[in-house]
Amino acid sequence: MDILHFLTSLFSSSTDEKLPTSAQADTYSHFQIRAALPGDLNSLAEILADSFHSHQGILGWAYPLLRLGIYEDLLNRLRSTLLHHICLVAVEDAANTATEGCYYSASNIAGTVEMALRSKEAFARTTGRYLYLSNLAVRPTYRRRGVANQLLLNCERVALEWGFQDLYLHVLENNYQARQLYFKLGYRLHKVESSWATWLLGRPRQLFLHKHLSTASTP
């Protein structure tokens, strides 16, 4: 386990930012959903680090290390030639910004999510491999605008294009807003998981969620 995975195991689960539910969201803005580019890396590392780790408190010293680890991990994954891996970003439509030239600026990247094929584990189905969502995060200034919803729906579209009809993700048991969003989008509980952090550090359990996709209902 590398340092980033160790730190994130202490502070968060991979899709567990405290997201507003789509039911609470304000009117959606227009966002382009596209694959991440190398030029997005600094912004994405910032969004993920801010979403999953606080600057405050006694562990605030770890923030620069965590951000650097996130950057290096993302860089390696974007360079990867794996067939079934994608990092999606939501970028605010240039038509809705004050300056057309800032379309690809860091401040216009509203959120991100990753999806990748994982190998069979104890909770996987008999197919032996499954698509797993991780690192769903939205920049604070773009929350309550449907960004997470749009990213998740686009993951479904890509999954179907790849020939898969099942998606999995983790969420912390006490993250009620994120749970509400996932359940509203059709995710259901597959398994409740505990870890050493649950027993030693009093961390909440992780819920392993599953959604079976229907081609008729996916945009």
Active site positions, annotated: 182
CA distance 189 to 169: 10
Using CB atoms within 10 Å of the CB of residue 11, give its burial: 0 to 12 exposed, 13 to 18 middle, 19+ buried: middle
CA distance 166 to 163: 10
CB-CB contact of 177 with 20 (8 Å) = yes
Residue from 27, 21, 51, 13 nearest 181 by CA: 21
Helices (H), the chain: 3-11, 41-52, 63-79, 147-162, 176-184, 196-200
Cross-strand bridge partners of residue 87: 114
Contacts of residue 133, Cβ cutoff 8 Å, sequence gap at least 6: 15, 113, 114, 115, 152, 155, 167, 168, 169
